[in-house]
Chains A and B, each alone.
Chain A
Amino acid sequence: MSAAPPVAVEPSRGSAERLRLPLALAAALLAGFCITALVSREPLRAYLTLLTGALPEIDWSASGGWQVRRLVRFGSVIEDFITLSFLGLALAVPFRARQFSLGADGQMFLAALAACAVSLALGGPWYRVLPAAAGAAMLTGFAWGLIPGLLKVRYQANEIVTTLMLNLVAVQFYQWIITGYLRDRGAGYLVTPALPAAALWPNLMPHTHVTLMLLLVPAAAAAVQLLLARTTLGYEIRAVGAAPAFARQAGMPVTRAVTLSMALGGVFAGLAGLHLSNALLQRLPVDLTPGLGYDGLVVALLARSEPKSVPLAAFFYAWLRTGALAMERSTDVSREMVLVIEALIILFIVADRLVPPGLPKALRRLWHRSGAGAEAA
């Protein structure tokens, strides 16, 4: 297998590149619409709900003044946004080094477990428990991301296979620990005890699980951006991803950069796990569905592995997911349609030859001929 992650390693240049993203999104939404139309009686309404369902309703009335409704639904957008941002960063860092590490799922599961265990075991005030839980989550993510990195540089073990396998192991381990050791015997189903209040992140929006971790998102994105742009390690990661032979020729420590890129990605998956455990769910069920890591893949692809674009891509994606929930509630289209659209977005984004080479020029000519005047970007 010689696949390299489909990442525009440095900011993409050329009009064909810039056209590709909106074209891919449009194509995916269109294809999804066609599929919806086949099965639903009201495809147009369903799609509109999908695209707008996450919006809170803001009315003004003379008697009641400003009223904001459906804020809770918007809250779930933000909750998803936080998780997806961290997962997007978790994949973007290895992608920049041209490493196809798909281990975010497993890293997140184990990190959530670690955060939960530490929160339950450690008593005391929030300034003791929270940092400990966060540290445990990030460390676990780092370690679980380090393993495939080491396997790759020492044994040339393909990171796609190892990370997929480690995901499976992680989920089993998670289930084993919860079933055997962290179980709340009083609950009616297999779940950990609820986390003590001191271990929970402070809430920002009532009736939602939006917590202070929201503020960590821009901090995390900025941290990754700083890492890549302003540290020697980040420079090495970029160089190894852009031109590995060049990096070797210049004497850069290629293996160290590869390993660390995967481990650092794990740190952010760990933050996603922390979010799951100490903010969103506040106790961990044994049947937590794996697969969120692949949503991180979409986010990273949409953001072209650029850290500053990850939150935007994560928000777009969280928006769609919540819209899908609204769609399911008010129309006959189930929310899994968003998975279909997600898949189509991925397919269209990585289709390198989606934009026929002549298209940007042709479009530009059309633009000029229609007398629009201004130079097309």
Chain B
Amino acid sequence: MSAVAMPMAAMGVTVLVAVLRNATPIIFAALGGLISDLAGSINVALEGLMLIAAFFGVIVSVHAAQWFPGLAPWMLPWLGCLAGLAMALVLAAVLALFHLELGADLIVAGIAINLLAAGLTVFLLVAIVGDKGSTAGLNSPSLPSLRMPGLAGLPLLDLLFNGEDGRGQHVLIYAALAGVAAVALFLSRTRWGTWIRAVGENRDAALAAGIPVKRMQYTALLLSGLLAGLGGIYLSMGYLTLFQANMTAGRGFLALAAIFLGRRRPAGTFAAAVLFGATASMAAWLGARHIDTQLVYMLPPLVTIAALVVAGARRRRS
């Protein structure tokens, strides 16, 4: 590679990695939201589910050492991860129960879950850690990074896969990318995925075909909890290793926007989530060039509204 192209390519790789890092939580949450939306149950509680998983991931991984003294240190973050996912599943189950069994409106219940998570996390933060803002005082671990050996001879690939410090990229980034493929496969090529889509598109047809509709709706909401939980875990046990109050900062709603923008398809949702992740990276970069970050952060919601308008205009013409 020429002496000029090399640094530019290296910068490109760095940007790509930064974009993926920012996009990963949105990707996870959007995948979860996609599944439940395709089942006809829009999940606005993604924000709260991410938050609760982020919190419990940190807390359990820190305290697990006390509860299970004989545990190998590498297992602690994974235990935290499991705990975070479990709590996200519990909240998603609460949402599903109130909606499917007690007849609560799904959107309002979803907003309630967001409030519940926001309140519960800070409440427990104070009770357990004694700090209202974050767990910065704790030394919480992160999930491991994966290193690709044998790339010494290919500098660009080495930079891509192993990062500037050679320690590799976070396991959840790989998981997010794998997740896109997995969700796409699930939806189009498995029984349950097909049933979920049928329930969302034509409930009567699904009922008539003997599909257990309620069970599918539960499954969809729980899966969205699981995936959103992974997004939350990445926030607190990924690049950053702490929990901050309200650290999700609207990513759950951006995930919803990504689903709309991506036309409710796995590939499109992924692309939109990456776009939003790029926006976050771009904000810092543009800030250095005296373009106000707030303007940049306005882009994702404005783009979403524009997408809705375009869709509506197209429908009117037909």
Contact between chain A and chain B defined by CB under 8 Å: yes
Question: Which residues of A pack against B, CB within 8 Å?
Answer: 1, 3-6, 35, 39-40, 100, 102, 151, 154-158, 160-162, 164-166, 168-169, 172-173, 175-176, 179-180, 291, 294, 297, 301, 332-334, 336-340, 342-344, 346-347, 350-354
Q: Which listed residue (A151, A160, A179, A350) contacts B305, Cβ 8 A? A: A151
Q: Which listed residue (A154, A162, A334) contacts B122, Cβ 8 A? A: A334
How many contacting A-B pairs (Cβ < 8 A)? Answer: 158
Q: Which listed residue (A102, A162, A343) contacts B308, Cβ 8 A? A: A162
CB-CB < 8 A to A5: which residues of B? 105, 108
Q: Give Cα A173 to B101, complex, Å.
A: 41
Chain B residues touching A, range: 35 or more
Q: Give Cα A155 to B106, complex, Å.
A: 24
CB-CB < 8 A to A168: which residues of B? 250, 253, 297-298, 300-301
Q: Which of B23-68 contact A (CB under 8 A)?
A: 42, 44
Q: Which listed residue (A154, A166, A297, A347) contacts B98, Cβ 8 A? A: A347
CB-CB < 8 A to B101: which residues of A? 353
Is B127 within 8 A of A40, CB to CB? yes
CB-CB < 8 A to A301: which residues of B? 108
CB-CB < 8 A to B98: which residues of A? 347, 350-351
Chain A residue nearest to B294 (CB atoms) is A176
Q: Give Cα A4 to B106, complex, Å.
A: 10
Given contacts A39-B123, A334-B126, A336-B123, contact A350 B309 (CB under 8 A): no
Is A165 within 8 A of B132, CB to CB? no
CB-CB < 8 A to B109: which residues of A? 346-347, 350
Query: Nearest-CB distance from A110 to chain B (Å)?
Result: 13
Is B102 within 8 A of A354, CB to CB? yes
Is A340 within 8 A of B123, CB to CB? yes
User: Is B116 close to A, CB under 8 A?
Assistant: yes
Query: Nearest-CB distance from B232 to chain A (Å)?
Result: 17
Q: Which listed residue (B124, B253, B295) contacts A39, Cβ 8 A? A: B124
A interface majority secondary structure: helix
Is B102 within 8 A of A346, CB to CB? no
Query: Nearest-CB distance from A101 to chain B (Å)?
Result: 12
Is A339 within 8 A of B294, CB to CB? no
A1, A339, A346, A347 — most chain B CB neighbours (10 Å): A347
Q: Give Cα A151 to B313, complex, Å.
A: 10
Chain A residue nearest to B316 (CB atoms) is A155
Query: Nearest-CB distance from A82 to chain B (Å)?
Result: 21
Q: Give Cα A342 to B117, complex, Å.
A: 11
User: Is B115 close to A, CB under 8 A?
Assistant: yes
Q: Which of B217-268 contact A (CB under 8 A)?
A: 250, 253, 256-257, 260
Chain B residue nearest to A351 (CB atoms) is B102
Q: Give Cα A102 to B44, complex, Å.
A: 12
CB-CB < 8 A to B105: which residues of A? 3-6, 350
Query: Nearest-CB distance from B294 to chain A (Å)?
Result: 4
Q: Give Cα A165 to B44, complex, Å.
A: 13
Q: Give Cα A338 to B123, complex, Å.
A: 9
Chain B residue nearest to A160 (CB atoms) is B107
CB-CB < 8 A to A336: which residues of B? 118-120, 122-123, 126
User: Is B160 close to A, CB under 8 A?
Assistant: no
Chain B residue nearest to A174 (CB atoms) is B294
Chain B residue nearest to A352 (CB atoms) is B103
User: Is B136 close to A, CB under 8 A?
Assistant: no
Is A1 within 8 A of B298, CB to CB? no
Is A353 within 8 A of B309, CB to CB? no
Query: Nearest-CB distance from A93 to chain B (Å)?
Result: 17
Is A161 within 8 A of B260, CB to CB? yes
User: Is B182 close to A, CB under 8 A?
Assistant: no
Is B104 within 8 A of A339, CB to CB? no
B294, B295, B312 — most chain A CB neighbours (10 Å): B294
Is B108 within 8 A of A350, CB to CB? yes
Q: Give Cα A346 to B300, complex, Å.
A: 29
Q: Give Cα A35 to B90, complex, Å.
A: 15
Is A155 within 8 A of B113, CB to CB? no
CB-CB < 8 A to A39: which residues of B? 123-124, 127-128
Chain A residue nearest to B113 (CB atoms) is A343
Query: Nearest-CB distance from A228 to chain B (Å)?
Result: 22
Query: Nearest-CB distance from B95 to chain A (Å)?
Result: 9
Q: Which listed residue (B104, B297, B305) contacts A166, Cβ 8 A? A: B305
Q: Which listed residue (B108, B112, B297, B305) contacts A162, Cβ 8 A? A: B305
CB-CB < 8 A to A343: which residues of B? 112-116, 119
Q: Give Cα A158 to B107, complex, Å.
A: 13
Chain A residue nearest to B292 (CB atoms) is A176
Q: Give Cα A338 to B119, complex, Å.
A: 7
Chain A residue nearest to B126 (CB atoms) is A334
User: Is B111 close to A, CB under 8 A?
Assistant: yes
Given contacts A334-B126, A342-B115, contact A172 B297 (CB under 8 A): yes
Q: Give Cα A336 to B245, complex, Å.
A: 11
B108, B118, B300 — most chain A CB neighbours (10 Å): B108
CB-CB < 8 A to A35: which residues of B? 120
User: Is B315 close to A, CB under 8 A?
Assistant: yes
Told that A166-B305, A336-B119, A351-B98 touch, could you supply 7 new A-B pairs with CB distance under 8 A? A166-B301, A168-B300, A179-B292, A339-B116, A347-B104, A350-B104, A350-B109
Q: Give Cα A186 to B135, complex, Å.
A: 33
The 8 closest A-B pairs by CB, nearest first: A339-B119, A155-B312, A343-B116, A352-B103, A165-B301, A176-B294, A351-B102, A346-B112
Is A151 within 8 A of B309, CB to CB? yes
Q: Which listed residue (A3, A155, A347) contacts B112, Cβ 8 A? A: A347
Is A180 within 8 A of B113, CB to CB? no
CB-CB < 8 A to B122: which residues of A? 334, 336, 339
